[in-house]
Amino acid sequence: MGKLNVAVCDDNRSYRREIIAECEKIREKCNVRFEISEFDNVKVLKENLKGIDILLLDIELGEDSGIEVKDYIEENRLDIIIIFISGFRSYVMKSFGLNVMGFIDKSEIAELLPRYLDKAISRRMEDIGYIDDINLRSIRYIQSNGVYVNLCTDDGNKILYRDSMNNMMKRLEQYDFCRAHRFYIINLRYVTKIESSPEGKHHVFLGKEKFKISESYYSTFRKKFSEYGRKRAGYI
C-alpha cells in the first residue's frame, strides 16, 4: 500500500518548520505511514495538488490566500482534507468548507495538530482501497470491455483488467463507486454534475467527460451521489 501524503503550505519558513516538526512527531507514533511535503507559495502548491491527501494550509500567503486555494480544491472536486493553520482568527468563518476539517491557531499547533491530523488520517484511511497495486482513488471510471474491464485513471491511462462489471461493482461499492450504465461504473469523487433533459435522458459529468445514466440505474445513482455528498460534508 502506498503512503499518504501530508502537505504543509506556509510562506513563513519558521512556521513551516514548526508544523513539519510536529508532523514528524505524530508520524513516529502513528501506525499509518505518511510522507510530508512542503510548499511556500500557492502557484507551486496548485501544480502539485494531485496526490495530496491532507493539506495543512496557511491563510495569508503573500499576495495569495489559502481561502482561494480551498475554493479551487472544492470547485475542482479534489478529494483533499484541509486543515487551516493561521494566526488570524478573524478568518475562521471564511475557512468553512466541504473539504475543511478544522482551524488551528498558530499559537496552538503543538496542542491541536496531533488531534486534527490523527482524525484526518483515520478518515482518509477509511476511503482507501486497492485493486492489486492500483489506488482506487486514482480510478475515474470503469468501462466494460468484453470479459475484461478498462480501469480509466486520472492520468489518462486505461488499464486492462480481467473481471466482470458485476464482480467489480461488488468489490467497489463500499469505496464510493456506483453503476451508471451497463457499460460504466463511476467513481463519485470525480462527479462534477448530473443533468436530466426534459426528454428524461440523464447524464453524469466528470469534468468535461459525459456519460449516459441508464433509467434503471438513475434513482440509485442519485441516491448514492447524495449520500456521498453528505459524507464529504462530515469533513467540516
* pLDDT value for 152: 97
Give 27-47 pLDDT, tens digit per residue: 988 877 899 999 999 999 999
Percent of the chain's residues with pLDDT above 70? 97
CA dist 226 and 231 (Å) reads 9
31-51 CB burial, b ≥16 within 10 A, e <16: eeebebebbbebeebeeebeb
Q: How far is CA 166 from the centre of its chain?
A: 26
- Over the stretch 11-31, which tens digit does the pLDDT of each residue have? 999 999 999 999 999 998 887
Looking at residue 77, its amino acid is R
Q: What pLDDT does residue 50 have?
A: 83
Domains annotated for the chain, with CATH where assigned, are 4-127 (3.40.50.2300), 131-233 (2.40.50.1020)
pLDDT at residue number 132: 78
* Model confidence band, residue 233 (pLDDT cutoffs 50, 70, 90): low
Residue 115's pLDDT is 93
Task: Look at 44-53, 83-92, 155-164 and tell me which has the smallest mean pLDDT.
Answer: 83-92
Look at phi and psi of residue 131 and say left if phi exceeds 0, alpha if psi is from -120 to 50, else beta.
beta
Of 65, 95, 91, 70, nearest to 80 by C-alpha is 70
**Which helix H or strand E contains 160, and what residues bound it?**
strand 158-162
Question: What does pTM read for this prediction?
Answer: 0.66
CA 125 from chain center: how many Å? Answer: 12
* Residue-level pLDDT at 142: 98
Model confidence at 54: pLDDT above 90: yes
The reported pLDDT for the residue numbered 236 is 38
Residue 235 pLDDT > 50: no
pLDDT at 1: 42
All three cell numbers of 52, joined, read 495530496
Q: Look at residue 88 and tell me whether its pLDDT is greater than 50.
A: yes
Give 172-223 pLDDT, tens digit per residue. Answer: 988 899 999 999 999 998 999 999 999 999 999 998 999 999 999 999 999 9
Question: CB under 8 Å to 189, separation ≥6 — which residues?
Answer: 77, 79, 137, 176, 228
Whether the predicted pLDDT of 98 surpasses 90: no
For every residue of 53-79, DSSP letters joined together read: -EEEE-SEETTEEHHHHHHHHHHTT--
Asked if 145 contacts 185 with a C-beta cutoff of 8 angstroms, the reply is no
The number of helices, as runs of H, and strands, as runs of E, in the chain is 6, 17
Looking at every residue in the chain, the average pLDDT score rounds to 90
